[in-house]
Amino acid sequence: MTIKIGEKLPEATFMTMTADGPAPLQASDVFAGKTVALFSLPGAFTPTCSAQHLPGYKEQAQALHDKGVDTIVCTSVNDVFVLHAWEKDQGTMDDIQMLADGNGSFAKALGLDFDGSAFGMGTRGQRFSILVKDGVATHINVEEPGEFRVSAAEYLLEQL
């Protein structure tokens, strides 16, 4: 079942890179008491994700903060090492918190996973954005397969 507006985000354990190496981080610690612009993409270093999706959130970070967003979070079904390398490659370390959903458990719990086996990618998270206020989804934008519009930073910014 896919998450709906007004529902609490599911609990999950992400992996994040710290100064001491990879560390687990609970979803409740990320979303509780904050306004979070959450976006998910199929994979680090993939064409649309690297050329448009992640850069759009970097470019709009200040505008999102000015509209009341406390934290911008990117999640993907990638391991923490890949996301950290991509974060450094894209120069987003100061703007976007990267959370690895390595096993796809968060995407699956949201009902927003998909089978990318036909493309050699296995199970992945769909391309989406969710505005989260104190752990509850207030806006949910899920892309149609092959599309990139409603999960973009500019689209989410218009919803604030």
Active site residue ranges = 49
**Within 10 A of 144 (CB to CB), how many other CB atoms are there?**
10
CA-angle at 24, arms to 26 and 76, nearest 5°? 80
**Within 10 A of 82 (CB to CB), how many other CB atoms are there?**
16
**Do residues 41 and 4 lie in contact, with contact meaning Cβ atoms separated by under 8 Å?**
no
The sign of the dihedral angle between the CA atoms of 109, 115, 116, 120 is positive
Those residues whose C-beta lies under 8 Å from the C-beta of residue 29, and which sit 6 or more positions away, are none
Distance in angstroms (rounded) separating the CA atoms of residues 1 and 10: 12
